[in-house]
Amino acid sequence: MLKKVIYSLEGFECIGFLATLAAGVIFFHYGGALDRLMGEENYHWRMFAVIVGIYARFIPYAIAFGALVVFGVSLRMRRRSKDALKQFVYGLRIFLAYCLLLIVFRVVNFYVPVLHPGIDDALIQRMDALIFGNQVSYLLQPIAMHWLTDVLTGAYVSWFWLLFATIALMLVKRREAASEYLLATLLAFYVGYVCYVFVPVIGPGYTLHYSVQLGDIAPTFTLSRLPISRDCFPSLHTATTVLMVIYVARFARRWLFAYIPMAVLIIFATLYLRIHYGTDDLAGILLAILVSMAAPRLHSWWEARRRLAFSYAKDESQDLPA
């Protein structure tokens, strides 16, 4: 029974389950250490209650909206209700995989200071100076303008919607393309989270001083760095954006005319808005390339094992006496 449940999962669901299990171990094992670090008893449980509260309000509405969209499209395209139900269930599985992703992200954000005290921004700044001759955000300071800040802020935020639009585009092409893309994207996220633990970086907006301010968009320098997320190296905005372009090139090439300009704007926005160092983005690009090479092999390997397991189970059932 357990084997059947395991092999009913797709690759992206397996990765999400393993990452959530690891996050749970960290949450319970280091909970006391986080409480002592924050100077508040049961702080980790209060954090847990906040996360649960957010998702308890958000998830039911999101599921209801998704159901309306799927069945509305099915009625318009005159598809059978059974097909619509299958599409909705698969969409729900994707949605839950990303809910788990966000929970793991929250745990990582809170526990990085416990697992790796301090920040490594000075190291990344030296890398930027070596590669680019200066801090990239300093090099971009002369072109800072209000209208450009607004445009690039919109581009940076659009990454979230583009991520899910790409899932929809892959699903339109074929389910296997969507499954592999989801595996690649979630793999990039979880590898990035591990990197956050080993190389905690808070970004140039918090560590460098500027003569030209961008307003409320970029983070302001502060001495209280504990609550600030150490989630800059590598840039997952960059990694997942590059993955989008790679998978669109593989499965929906005619959409490249829209994806390439958006990808350039999003990656440039991470630098201009002082969210990431240049080295963060280079690491994100490298991560995307490595994942795009590994994901097809992992996806094929897991799908082969699933087919073999279900084929074996079917043969066994046929051998049973009547």
Reported as a single tens digit per residue, the pLDDT across 190-218 is 999 999 999 999 999 889 988 888 865 54
Residue pointed to by tokens 């560590």: 207
Residues 6+ apart with CB under 8 A from 168: none
Instruction: Write down the pTM of the prediction.
Output: 0.89
SS3 82: helix
Mean pLDDT over all residues of the chain?
A: 85
* pLDDT value at residue 214: 81
- Asked if 183 and 299 count as a contact pair (C-beta separation under 8 A), the reply is yes
* pLDDT value at residue 223: 39
Check whether 83 has a pLDDT greater than 80: no
**Interval 280-304 mean pLDDT:** 95
pLDDT band at 72 (very low <50, low <70, confident <90, very high): low
- Cα 209 off chain centre by: 29
- Asked if 239 and 284 count as a contact pair (C-beta separation under 8 A), the reply is yes
Alpha carbons 138 and 72: distance in angstroms, whole number: 50
- Asked if 170 and 177 count as a contact pair (C-beta separation under 8 A), the reply is yes
From the number of C-beta atoms within 10 Å of its C-beta (0-12, 13-18, 19+), residue 1 rates as exposed
Which has more pLDDT, 114 or 314? 114
CA-based nearest residue to 182, from 195, 194, 170, 196: 170
* pLDDT value at residue 184: 97
pLDDT band at 320 (very low <50, low <70, confident <90, very high): very low
Lowest mean pLDDT of 126-130, 180-184, 222-226, name the range. 222-226
**Interval 277-297 mean pLDDT:** 97
CA-based nearest residue to 126, from 277, 293, 306: 277
Q: What is the pLDDT of residues 120-147, one digit of tens each?
A: 999 999 999 999 999 999 999 999 998 8
pLDDT band at 77 (very low <50, low <70, confident <90, very high): low
How much is the CA Rg of the chain, to the nearest whole Å? 22
CB count within 10 Å of CB 168 equals: 11
CB count within 10 Å of CB 75 equals: 11
- Cα 287 off chain centre by: 13
- Asked if 293 and 303 count as a contact pair (C-beta separation under 8 A), the reply is no
Q: What is the pLDDT of residues 14-65, one digit of tens each?
A: 999 999 999 999 999 999 999 998 888 888 888 888 777 777 776 676 666 6
pLDDT band at 225 (very low <50, low <70, confident <90, very high): very low
- Asked if 214 and 262 count as a contact pair (C-beta separation under 8 A), the reply is no
| Residues above pLDDT 70, as percent of the chain | 83
Alpha carbons 239 and 290: distance in angstroms, whole number: 10
Q: H helices then E strands: how many in the chain?
A: 13, 0
pLDDT band at 81 (very low <50, low <70, confident <90, very high): low
